[in-house]
Amino acid sequence: MGLMELLSTRAKWARVTALTVAGTAVLSGFAMVGNAYAPTGTFEAKMIGGEVYVKASSVTKVLGGSGSYNAKTGTYSYTAANPIPAVIGKVSPSVVGIIGKPLGYDDRYALSHGTGVIWKSDGWIVTNAHVVKDMAYLAVVTSDGKEYEGKRVYYDEKSDLAMVKIAAKNLKPAVFAASPLKLEVGESVIAIGTPVSFTLRNTATTGILSGMNRSTGSDYKLLQTDAAINPGNSGGPLVNLKGEVIGINSMKFVSDGVESLGFSIPTDTVRYVIQHFFKYGKVNRASLGVELEESWSAIVGLPSSDPLTIKNVKSDAAVKSGLKSGDALFAIAGQQVTSLVDVTETLKAFIPGQQVEVLVQSGGSLVTRKLTLSAG
C-alpha cells in the first residue's frame, strides 16, 4: 500500500506499512498500582510531635529522581524519575526494521518497509502479514545496525500476523505479556517502530491504552491507542510500563481531521497464532461451517444482545447437526456471541474435528445442536 494512499483524506482503515523511496532496565522505585506504575517505596522516617518526617535523601535513593531544599522558603521540591526511557532502552534491542522490494514494482528505489519484534533468540521474528506478504528480498536490520537476509516462513492474513526467520543467534527476545491480558484503559503505553522512512528505525512514541476489545477492521479483537502509529510502524510492539509487549501494531484510522487512532493485535491472539504456526505450519482455524450475518445493531455498533443469523449452511457436518438457513445463533460452547468477531474469538479455543454445542433458535424453539467443527 502506497504512502500517498495511506495519507488519503478519505476516511478508511489503513494498514500502516510504509512504501518509501530510497534516499529520502529495571524500574527502581516504581510499582504497579492497578495496571499503571506509580512511585512507591519504604523510606527512612521519624515521628516528631505526631508528624512523620521522611528523610529527603531517602526519597531520591528509593524512587530516583532529584530533589532540592530551599532554606529561604522552607520547602523541598522533588522531581520524580521517568520510567519511560528505561522501558524504551529495555525493549528497543528486541525491535527490528524490515525492508524489501514490493512485488510488481520495477523501480529499484521503490522499497516497502515495516517493523518486527524478536520472538526467539535464534532469529524468529513476528511482524504483520501485510508487511511481508508481497515483499521480495527481505532485509532485517537489528537495533545495533546489523543486517540479515530474511525469509518469510509463515503468514496468516486473517489475523494479520507473520513470522520471519533470519540466520542469527543470541538475539534479545522481547518479553510478551502473559495471557489472558490484564490491562486497564488509561494506562501508559509506548509504540516502537520504523515510521515513514527506514532511517527512522526504533522511533518511540507514547500514549495511553485508549480502548480494548475493538473489532473495527479486523477478524479479531484489537487494542486501541493514541500513541502515534504511522506508516512503517506495522509489526512493531505496543509496550506497557513493565516493558512487556501487549500488542503488535497493525493499523490506524486515516481521515482528514482524525488523529491518534491506532490499533494493535493483542498478545493473546499473537500467542494463539504463533503456537499454531509452529505446531501445524499454519493457523489450524476451526469453523462452524456456516455463513453468518450480524444483526443491524451489531453492524452499526449499538449495544446489542441480538443473535447472529445463519444465512447458509456450507459444511456436511453443519448439515448433519441439523443447522438450517434462517436459524438464529445465540451461543457457542456456552459463550454468547453477537458478532462475527465474537465467533472467531470463541473458536480460538478449538481446532477442526472437535465437537461443540451451539445454541440456536430454530422454528421458534431454542435448541442445542452438537456440531463437529470444520476447517476455517
1 inside domain: no
150 inside domain: yes
Pair (154, 193) in one structural domain: no
Amino acid letter, residue 349: A
CATH code for the domain in which residue 151 is found: 2.40.10.10
174 inside domain: no
23 inside domain: no
Q: Of 241, 264, 280, which one is at a domain's C-terminal end?
A: 280
Give the DSSP letter string of 61-74. Answer: HHH-SEEEEETTTT
CATH code for the domain in which residue 305 is found: 2.30.42.60
Measured CA to CA, the distance from residue 208 to residue 190 in angstroms comes to 8
Half-sphere exposure of 303 (CA within 13 A, CB side): 0
> Which segments of the chain have a pLDDT < 50?
1-13, 20-29, 254-255
Q: Check residue 5 and give its pLDDT.
A: 32
Q: Check residue 277 and give its pLDDT.
A: 98
| Number of domains forming the structure of the chain | 4
Residue 171 in grid coordinates: 538475539
Range of the domain at 109: 87-166
Q: Of 132, 166, 200, which one is at a domain's C-terminal end?
A: 166
Q: Check residue 22 and give its pLDDT.
A: 37
Pair (133, 200) in one structural domain: no
Which residue in the block uniquely carries the three cell numbers 531520591?
Answer: 60
Pair (365, 290) in one structural domain: yes
DSSP for residue 178: P
Measured CA to CA, the distance from residue 92 to residue 239 in angstroms comes to 11
Per-residue pLDDT of 211-239, as tens digits, reads: 999 887 789 999 999 998 888 899 999 99
R_g of the chain, CA atoms, integer Å: 25
Residues near 72 by beta carbon (within 8 Å), at least 6 away in sequence: none
Catalogue the active-site residues. 130, 160, 234
Residue 55 in grid coordinates: 528523610
Pair (69, 118) in one structural domain: no
Q: Check residue 217 and give its pLDDT.
A: 73
Pair (292, 360) in one structural domain: yes
Largest CA distance in the chain: 87
Pair (68, 132) in one structural domain: no
Pair (334, 367) in one structural domain: yes
Cα dihedral sign for 117, 180, 217, 318? positive
Pair (272, 299) in one structural domain: no
Pairing label, strands 365-372, 374-375: unpaired
